[in-house]
Structure 1
Amino acid sequence: MSFELADAVLPLPHAVRAELRREWTRLAAAGSWLTGPERVAVAREARAARTFGDGDTGLPVLLGEAAQSVSAAAHLITRDWVADLQARGMAVEQYVEVVGVVSRLAAVDSYVRGVGSTEEPLPEPGSGEPTGRRNEQVRWRSAFVPTDPEDGARFALSSVPAEEEARDQLHSQLYLSTEQMADLAYQDVLSRAQMELLAARVSLLNDCFY
C-alpha cells in the first residue's frame, strides 16, 4: 500500500495519510483533459525537472514543456509564454490540469521529505478517457488563464473543476480548509501567525510572487 513511509521520523496523522493515498489514486486515473498515463508522465517529468534528470521521453512536447516549467521555473512563467503554448496547440484546460497535477505533486513530495521519508514511487497509470469536463462560467480577466468567479490563487484552477476540487481536498489536510483560512485566530499545533510566517518564508525562497 502507498505511503507507508516506514522511515519517517515524524508521525503522519491518519487523515493526512488517507489524503495522500487519495491523491495517488487521482494522479493515476484519467482526468478531465489528460489520460492516466499522461498525468503520471507529467508527474515524472516534473520530478525530473527539479534535478535536471531524465524525464519521460514519451510525453508530448507541449505537455513536457509545461510540466518542466511549472515544476522548476514557475517564477519565469509569463502571460506570453502561456499564450504561446495555446498558439502551438495546447488547450488552456490541459495547461490548467498540468498546473494542478504538478503543484499537488510538489506539495506531496515536500510533505514526505519534511517528515523524513523518501519520495513515494509514482503510481501505475490507469485506463480510461478524459471526461472533458470544464467550467463554462470562466472568463478572461487579468490572470494567465480564464477564471471564475474572479482572479487570484484561490480560483487559478477554476476552469477545470476536478483540479480545483482536488487542490482544495489536499490543501485542507496539508494546510487549512477554506473555512479555517477565514479564521485568523485558528490554532492547531502552530498558531495561524506561525503558519503564515513559515508560508511567507517558503514563498520567498521559492520566488513566489503571490
Structure 2
Amino acid sequence: MALELEAAVLPVPDGVRAELRREWGRLAAPGTWLSGEERVAVAREARAARTFADAHTELEPVLVEAAQSVSAAANLITREWVADLLTRGMTIEQYVEVVGIVSRVAAVDAYVRGVGSAEEALPDSEPGEPTRRRNIDVRPRAAFVPTDPEDGARYALSAVPAEESARDQLHAQLYLSTPQMADLTHQNELSRAQMELLAARVSFLNDCFY
C-alpha cells in the first residue's frame, strides 16, 4: 500500500496518513481537464523542476512549462505570463488544475520528508476521460484567473471545483480546516500563534507574496 512511511521518525496521525493516500488516488485518476496520465506527468515535471532535472514526460510543452514554473519559480509568475500560456493553447481550467496538482504534491512531499521518510513514488495513472465540468459562476476579478465568489487564496482554485475540494481536504489534515481557521483559539500540538509563526516564516523563505 502507498505511503506506508515506514522510515518516519515522527508519528503520523491516522487521519493524515489516510488523506495522503487519498491524494495519491486523486493524482492518479482522471481529473476535470487533464487525464490521469497527464496529472501524474505534471507531478513528475514538478518534482524534477525542484532539482533542475529532466522528467522526460510526453506532456505538451505548455503544460511542462506551467508545471515547472509553479513548482520551482512561483514567485516569478505574473499575470502576463499566465495570459501568454493561454495564447499558446492552455485553458484557464487546465492551468488551475496544474496549480492544484503541483501545490498538493509539494505539500505531501514536504510532509513526508518532514517526518523523516523518503518521497513516495508517484502512482501509476488510471485510464478514463476528464469530467470537463465547468464552474459557470467564476468571474475575472483582481486575481490572475477567474474566481468565485471572490478573490483570495481561499478561492484561487474555484474555476475547477474538484481541485478546490481536494485542496481543502488536504489542508484540513496538514494545517487547519476552514472552520478551524476562523477560530483563533484553536490548538493542536502547537498553539495557533506558533502555527502562524511557522507559516509566516516558510512563506517568507519561499518568496510568497500572498
Task: Identify the residue that residue 139 of structure 2 maps to in structure 1.
Answer: 139
Task: Identify the residue that residue 72 of structure 2 maps to in structure 1.
Answer: 72
Q: How big is the shift at 1:27?
A: 0.1
State how many pairs are aligned.
Answer: 210
The residue type paired with residue 26 of structure 1 is R
Root-mean-square deviation (Å): 0.5
> TM-score with structure 1 length normalisation?
0.99
CA distance in structure 2 between the aligned counterparts of 1:115 and 1:56, rounded to whole angstroms:
29
Q: How big is the shift at 1:13?
A: 0.3
Q: How big is the shift at 1:134?
A: 1.6
Verify the 8 A CA contact 1:42 1:102 in the aligned structure 2: yes
Verify the 8 A CA contact 1:41 1:56 in the aligned structure 2: no
| Structure 1: gaps spanning 5 or more residues | none
2:37 is aligned with 1:40 = no
Q: How big is the shift at 1:57?
A: 3.1
> TM-score with structure 2 length normalisation?
0.99
Give per-residue Cα distances to partners, 1:125-184, cap 9 Å, x unaligned: 000000001210000011000000000000000000000000000000000000000000
The residue type paired with residue 93 of structure 1 is E
Give per-residue Cα distances to partners, 1:43-95, cap 9 Å, x unaligned: 00000000011213311101100000000000000000000000111000000
CA distance in structure 1 between the aligned counterparts of 2:160 and 2:131, rounded to whole angstroms:
11
CA distance in structure 1 between the aligned counterparts of 2:109 and 2:165, rounded to whole angstroms:
19
| Structure 2: gaps spanning 5 or more residues | none
Task: Identify the residue that residue 162 of structure 1 maps to in structure 2.
Answer: 162
- Percent of residue pairs identical: 76
The 5-angstrom pairing of residues 1-210 of structure 1 reads 1-210=1-210
Q: Which runs of 4+ in 1 moved over 6 A?
A: none
DSSP-derived class of the 2:171 partner: helix
The residue type paired with residue 5 of structure 1 is L
